[in-house]
Amino acid sequence: MKVVSLLSGGIDSTTLLYYLLSKGWEVKALIFNYGQRHSKEVELARRIVERVNVKYEVVDISNIKNLISSGSLTGRKEVPEGHYTDENQKLTIVPNRNMIMLAIAVGHAVKLKYDAVVFGAHSNDRAIYPDCRPAFVNDLDRAIIDATEERVELLAPFINKTKDEIVRLGSELKVPFHMTWSCYKGGEYHCGKCATCVERKEAFKLAGITDPTVYEK
């Protein structure tokens, strides 16, 4: 199986990459720069693919930033602190981001004659991000199969896994968690307070795995 996989450099997409490689699949990673607040994410993702010696491309779609987003992931608004399911986390939604990245990945898979596009949506994401839910994955998969005349399909192997299950799997696969980045802020260390930091901490705790992350004091 040959697949194009989205890589953000977070725990989920990095574990996904290791999982795909463990199955012996050929993987091309796409790292998107969509005008994130900080470019740290892109740089760390690049280090991860270089570590496992996987082909990759950094895809710059930052010039559509103003068109699609007024959220805090790309704009000037403050990154909210607190838990993911809080109402204020809606600020962290970049509308339709997954469909945009997946659509480009499908075009690339057609060009490479690869079989599928893969991304790391998981069940914790469902509460807040509609484009991480099973119905979205199923319906977009159908549209992709239509658009490519059955040459490419969409896979989301973690769609029914919780984040702590992903941490456990990553631990078995020897994912270098210390190289992954979750924090919405681009500081030297993880802030420990924004939703994605809170979720990261919880996942390690629930998984019973030592969290190697350095959090700000």
Residues that bind its own copies (CB under 8 A): 57, 59-61, 63-64, 67-70, 94-100, 102-104, 106-108, 110-111, 130-131, 133, 135-136, 139-140, 142-144, 146-149
* Minimum CB distance to its own copies smaller for 4 or for 203: 4
**Quick count: other Cβ atoms within 10 Å of Cβ 183?**
24
Closest approach of Cβ 67 to its own copies, in Å?
Answer: 5
Sheet holding 153-155, edge to edge: 55-60, 26-33, 2-6, 116-118, 153-155
Closest approach of Cβ 130 to its own copies, in Å?
Answer: 5
Q: Report how far residue 93's alpha carbon sits from residue 90's, in angstroms, rounded to the nearest whole number.
A: 5
Q: The tokens of 65 are what?
A: 């930033």
| Under 8 Å between Cβ of 56 and 18 | no
* Minimum CB distance to its own copies smaller for 148 or for 171: 148
Q: The tokens of 116 are what?
A: 């599928």
Q: What letter represents residue 172's amino acid? A: E
Closest approach of Cβ 62 to its own copies, in Å?
Answer: 9
* Minimum CB distance to its own copies smaller for 79 or for 152: 152
Closest approach of Cβ 146 to its own copies, in Å?
Answer: 4
- Tell which residue, 101, 190, 118, has the closest CA to residue 152: 118
* Minimum CB distance to its own copies smaller for 100 or for 173: 100
* Minimum CB distance to its own copies smaller for 136 or for 177: 136
Residue 55 burial (10 A CB sphere; 0-12, 13-18, 19+):
exposed
Closest approach of Cβ 153 to its own copies, in Å?
Answer: 13
